[in-house]
Amino acid sequence: MPRFGSIYSTIGIALPVQRRYFYYTKVTMSYDANSAYSANNAYPAGPGAAGSGAMGPGGQIRGAASPEDLSLPLYGASFGQAIKRFFKKYAKFSGRASRSEYWWVALFLFLIQLIPSVLYSIGLGMTAGTASMAAADPYASQMSAGPSGGALALTVIGGILMFIIGVAVVVPTLAIIWRRLHDANLAGPFFFLNFIPGVGGIILLVLTLLPSKPEGQRFDV
């Protein structure tokens, strides 16, 4: 069960790694809001305007004009909009995802794993404490055959919840990483840099922080 918790470090939106970098979110939200203005308002739509997947006039980045438009990234997305789009594009690896979409989802994944992780950690801590006391006091080890029922329950419940959540979000999480890389004009397989021992997670984190580039529109379908 604890092994499955490493899914998030494997797919780059890792709880242990990325929780330290959420202070970037405010900066990226502001950047995306500016991108949304320049992408959607700088040039009014009209005859001859670039279509979906094409570069807009003057090399502008094309973004979705409405949260319901799933064919283009939504720059300046709110938390709710980002989560809805995350699930609506559950297994879509083509196209792009803005930084605001990506980092709101990262925050969402952190929050939904927080309670199960706390329960699991408390259960393990109680179990370890019981084992330590038993080792230090042979008499206590005779009185207690193992961890308390409460500790075992917390560990099992926390582990099961982590497993269920992990299975439910592993595909859309990988998909949004793929689309975020596209938005930075990087091919999706750059994700596999994550598997470089020691530094892979940091490399992928840096790549997901890169700004949107007009050239990334080549990945639109």
Report DSSP letters for 59-92, one per residue: GPPP--SSTT--SS--TT--HHHHHHHHHHTTT-
Tokens of 195: 């598997």
How far is Cα 33 from Cα 53, in angstroms, rounded to an integer?
A: 20
How far is Cα 49 from Cα 30, in angstroms, rounded to an integer?
A: 27
Please list, in sequence order, all residues whose beta carbon lies within 8 angstroms of the beta carbon of residue 60, skipping any fewer than 6 positions away: 38, 39, 42, 43, 214
CB contact burial 179-210 (16+ within 10 A = b; e otherwise): bbbbbbbbebebbebbeeeeebbeebbebbbe
Phi–psi pair at 208, nearest 5 degrees: -75, -15
- The letter for the amino acid at 203 is I
Domain ranges of the chain: 2-36+65-219
Residue with tokens 């918790």: 5
- With the C-alpha atoms ordered 38, 43, 45, 51, is the resulting torsion angle positive or negative? negative
104: closest CA among 35, 25, 32? Answer: 25
How far is Cα 139 from Cα 178, in angstroms, rounded to an integer?
A: 56
Q: Return the DSSP state at 214.
A: G
Return the half-sphere exposure (C-beta side, CA atoms, 13 A cut-off) of residue 165. 20
Residue with tokens 């670039």: 50
* pTM exceeds 0.75, yes or no: no
At residue 147, the pLDDT reads 60
216: closest CA among 81, 66, 107, 97? Answer: 97
Is residue 173 within 8 Å of 11, Cβ to Cβ?
yes
Provide the residue-wise pLDDT of the chain in tens; the chain has 221 residues: 443 333 344 344 433 334 444 444 444 444 454 454 444 443 333 333 333 444 444 468 899 999 999 999 999 999 999 999 999 999 999 999 999 999 999 999 999 999 999 999 999 988 887 767 666 665 555 545 556 778 899 999 999 999 999 999 999 999 999 999 999 999 999 999 999 999 999 999 999 999 999 999 999 97
